[in-house]
Amino acid sequence: MRLAERMSRLGTETAFDVLVKARALEAQGKEIIHLEVGEPDFPTPPNIIDAGIRAMRDGKTKYTPSAGIPELRAAIAEHVSRTRNVSITPNHVVVTPGAKPIMFFAILALVEPGDEVLYPNPGFPIYESMVNYCGGTPVPYTLREANQFRFDPDEFRSKANAKTKMIILNSPQNPTGGVLEPADLQVVAQVANQYDAVIFTDEIYGEVLYDGAFNSLLSVPTLADRTILLDGFSKTFAMTGWRLGWGVMPPPLAEHITRLQTNSNSCVAGFVQYAGIEALRGPQDSVKQMLAAFRERRDVIVDGLNATPGFTCLKPRGAFYAFPNITGTGWDSRKLADYILNDAGVACLSGAAFGDAGEGYLRFSYANSLENIQKALVRIRDAVAKIHA
Ligand SMILES: Cc1ncc(COP(=O)(O)O)c(C=O)c1O
């Protein structure tokens, strides 16, 4: 079968490839600690599960409107209005199976050959993949450790021009845990307004923030007509497998994104959407408990990595990833990630999987038990000690 040319431009997400490798080692009897995939290890809170089961029993098992059921769109509008201090209506909201389709649909709807799209490097690999797939030109801006993994304002400005169609931001950030400050939002606003660019703000980790206030690009008044927000249930409510996310955007764009959904998934399962209403409107204790656990694990893994020869690690302010600098080992990231998987039985990702600026780093997801994290740290230290022994 001859593939369409555009398939040669579609990338992938390495986390899933490493997971396959790790599972193959497990099948051979090796015990692997999984610090590669970014998903909370906690079960979905029981009140959310109950709401999903109840909805299924109540017959919510049929097609639903492509943009989402009105009750969930209203609950999301309320949640986003409250958390971002803005006034969002249900017409701004499109509900999708996981948050990823918002990325896919927004880029598909807006980017075409000749358009440039600014995106973070290191960053979530699907941004670059989708821009390439749609024939646009991905233009990376670098996030450096020396700047707490925030962008450099001068470099950021220098990357934009009249061809800049979209600017992608992600805060708290995967893979670095970096967080945008109010001054950064002002730089983005100035650049976007100057070049009439769309802002795509990926805030899937917006509630996984350990200190300080959350600064959302959606809250910047001058950006209201040009901003698309991606958010969802996967990380905040430990619902990765339910596949439930949302986008918030100006209503005229929401109609087009809804049409893309009609052409692809049709809609999200109704009972899953009812579970989503419970997640947003029900008790929030589980979210607080998960955040407290992530904070404790963050401190343990960062201290442990800093005590590993050749590693240095900043303390991330958000998300649940540690992104240590491993240049002191003398090895490149891919080689070291493979070695740690095969020798130590700890699955992690090479920083280079997030773009060339990720070379020299590894990404560890600490959405795993404290016990497993402590065990992984001992194994990593022992394995790394053998490198130059
Ligand atoms: C930065 C970022 N955006 C979006 C997503 C996608 O989330 P979902 O699983 O809801 O599609 C992820 C998941 O890993 C992510 O890390």
pLDDT tens sequence across 207-250: 999 988 899 999 999 998 999 999 999 999 999 999 999 999 99
Angle, nearest 10°, between helix axes 270-281 and 70-84? 30
**Cα dihedral value 84, 78, 260, 53, nearest 10:** 120
208, burial (CB in 10 Å: exposed 0-12, middle 13-18, buried 19+): buried
Pick the residue with more confidence: 60 or 37? 60
> In this structure, which amino acid lies at residue 372?
N
Phi-psi region of 98 (alpha: psi -120 to 50; beta: other; left: phi over 0): left
pLDDT of the residue at 388? 77
Report whether residue 272 contacts ligand 1, using a CB cutoff of 6 Å. Answer: no
pTM (global) more than 0.75: yes
177, 317 in Cβ contact below 8 A?
Answer: yes
> How many CA atoms does the CB half-sphere of 266 hold within 13 Å?
5
- Of the pLDDT bands very low, low, confident and very high (cuts 50, 70, 90), residue 24 is very high
Report whether residue 99 contacts ligand 1, using a CB cutoff of 6 Å. Answer: yes
Average pLDDT taken over every residue of the chain: 96
How far does the centroid of ligand 1 lie from the alpha carbon of residue 100, in Å? 6
- Of the pLDDT bands very low, low, confident and very high (cuts 50, 70, 90), residue 15 is confident
| Lookup: tokens for 339 | 């070695």
Report whether residue 170 contacts ligand 1, using a CB cutoff of 6 Å. Answer: yes
Atom of ligand 1 nearest to the CA of 232: 10
154, burial (CB in 10 Å: exposed 0-12, middle 13-18, buried 19+): exposed
345-375 residue pLDDT tens: 999 999 999 999 999 999 999 999 999 999 9
Q: 299 CB contacts (<8 Å, ≥6 apart)?
A: 315
